[in-house]
Structure 1
Amino acid sequence: MKRLEGRVIAVTRPRERAQVAVDIITREGGEALLAPTLELVMSRTESLLELCQHAKNLDWIIFTSPASLQSLFQYCPDFKYDLHHDCRIAAIGPRTQRVLEEYGLKAELVPEDYTAEGLLKVMAPLNLEGKIIGIPRTFSARDVLPEGLRKMGAQVLLAEAYKSTIPHDLKPVQDLMEGILNDEVDAITFTSPLTVHNLFEIAANRKKELIDHLKSGKIMIIAIGPITGYAIQEYDLPYIAPSKYTVEAMLDKMMEEMN
């Protein structure tokens, strides 16, 4: 028997990033309820164009998501050719690393812990004093990485490559909330703090009702890792998380707990 037979699993990550989760849930006999609480909007910002102009001066560039790559190469198609040949590259995790390779670049550093803290740990032994490090990302991301690098003596060039916003189409999230309140959902997956916070922001005056219902523990809540878990804890909700911070590991952990 398939492990998710008859189960409804909510996927709250952006639609363009949800396919892996949807495929696994469907393959295991479950129904994937796609309800993005987050929308990614590519942005041609001044800071991104400035980073492109500084390509030849960078000692390091760090990519923390596939979206940052997509935006950078959309608005700066010659970026990789403008990079100084000694520029070193880091990626936050294997998925970003794979997308990086699709653009013809190779990450020298990928931490075992796919977080900003993980990146800082692998970069700590390096001499970063005076090094210029570019980081294209969303400005809604945590400041842990740039602040940590600055403490190591680096000059950090942050560039807003995309915006993380509330989705324009709220109906899928509203349907998810109804499913939660009617116990028609077996589990909810969260892959970033914003996917959590946005759900309750969208809930508006139903926020308390939604939180109280989730506190019962009838519906399993799964975080991709501890940073997302901390966001769930802010609402005093129970959750589980895998030891490896990937979508595959998150869903494996969920299925282990269900069976």
Structure 2
Amino acid sequence: MTGRLAGKVIAVTRPQAQAGPLAAAIAAAGGEAFCFPLLDIAPADDPAPLAAAVARLADYDFAAFVSPNAVDHALPAILRHGPWPGGLQALAVGPGTVKALAAHGVGDCLAPSERFDSEALLDLPGLAPTQVAGRRVALFRGDGGRELLAETLRARGAVVDAIPCYRRSAPGDFTVLADAARLDGITLSSSEALRHLVAGLGIARVRDIPLFVPHARIAELAQALGLTRVILTPPADQGLIDGLLAYNWSA
């Protein structure tokens, strides 16, 4: 096998439904993708909040989706109820979420184009206080997670309903990952996944493995946990693969 990543085994820790593109890019560069989701995704325990939001979706001005998982667990229910309401502005945190919405036929999505996080979404002119004050926002998300998006929109005068449509949990068994004969690098796409990795394997097991992360917040947490081989890449899957390709593997 030839390519920049030839002979390298790279752990892909995205949720199972989102792991394919990054794994394929690693394979295309000659590497071996070792897929081990550090977040298990399942429907919300209580389906009532999602059902209630779907029933009154036309009353909202904005529908915000924090991740592709939010789209995958909310859009089927929305579209079973009826077509996407005219005049309802879709919001997305990043390109993966935009792509997931488009796959369901929802376009004209307001999303950041460079940084992909809640802060970047909130920086868009379309979500300025003058644009959201007094308007209603349906925020489709997982259980728990950051409150920044909801709290900031409320502070700007919006009425925000946070709707849990999926739940996240740590893997029940780390044996497969712990028994991996070799890992040359690990990709991590969320702080929660990083916490699960450290809890599941321990600091000593991962301290000497390069960790590739696409957001400064994840890098800061990794360093706070005592991990020093942390490579901050550009955003999203493309950023991770760019970071893997640029890394000096002989160092």
TM-score (structure 2 length as normaliser):
0.89
Q: Is the 8 A contact 1:80 1:105 kept in 2?
A: no
CA distance in 2, matches of 1:67, 1:55: 19
Tell me the residue number matched to 1:116: 118
Task: Look up the SS of the partner of 1:135 in the other structure.
Answer: strand
Q: 1:198 to 1:80 in 2, by over 3 A?
A: farther
Tell me the residue number matched to 2:231: 240
Q: How far off is 1:234 after superposition?
A: 2.8
1:257 to 217, 242, 247: 247
CA distance in 2, matches of 1:155, 1:80: 23
The farther-off stretch of 71-80 and 135-144 is 71-80
Task: Look up the SS of the partner of 1:10 in the other structure.
Answer: strand
Q: How far off is 1:79 after superposition?
A: 4.8
Q: Is the 8 A contact 2:203 2:227 kept in 1?
A: no
**Unaligned 5+ residue runs, structure 1?**
none
AA of the residue aligned to 1:11: V
Tell me the residue number matched to 1:47: 49
Tell me the residue number matched to 1:133: 137
Tell me the residue number matched to 1:161: 165
2:75 to 73, 76, 79: 73
Tell me the residue number matched to 1:152: 156
CA distance in 1, matches of 2:138, 2:39: 25
AA of the residue aligned to 1:240: I
CA distance in 1, matches of 2:204, 2:171: 22
**Unaligned 5+ residue runs, structure 2?**
none
1:193-234 C-alpha deviation (Å, 9 max, x unpaired): 11101112223xxx24335xx1xxx42111021232233233
Task: Look up the SS of the partner of 1:222 in the other structure.
Answer: strand
AA of the residue aligned to 2:195: H
Q: Which residues of 2 match residues 135-214 of structure 1 at below 5 A?
A: 135-176=139-180, 179=181, 184-203=182-201, 207-210=202-205, 214=207
AA of the residue aligned to 2:50: L
CA distance in 1, matches of 2:35, 2:109: 34
Q: How far off is 1:169 after superposition?
A: 4.4
1:61-86 C-alpha deviation (Å, 9 max, x unpaired): 11121111111133343355263x22
TM-score (structure 1 length as normaliser):
0.86
Q: Is the 8 A contact 2:98 2:109 kept in 1?
A: no
CA distance in 2, matches of 1:226, 1:63: 21
AA of the residue aligned to 2:110: L
Q: How far off is 1:167 after superposition?
A: 2.0
CA distance in 1, matches of 2:156, 2:5: 46
CA distance in 2, matches of 1:198, 1:61: 30
CA distance in 2, matches of 1:79, 1:157: 19
Find runs of 4+ consecutive structure 1 residues off by over 6 angstroms.
none
1:160-201 C-alpha deviation (Å, 9 max, x unpaired): 11111112443333334xx4xxxx221111011111011122
The farther-off stretch of 149-158 and 12-21 is 12-21
Task: Look up the SS of the partner of 1:150 in the other structure.
Answer: helix
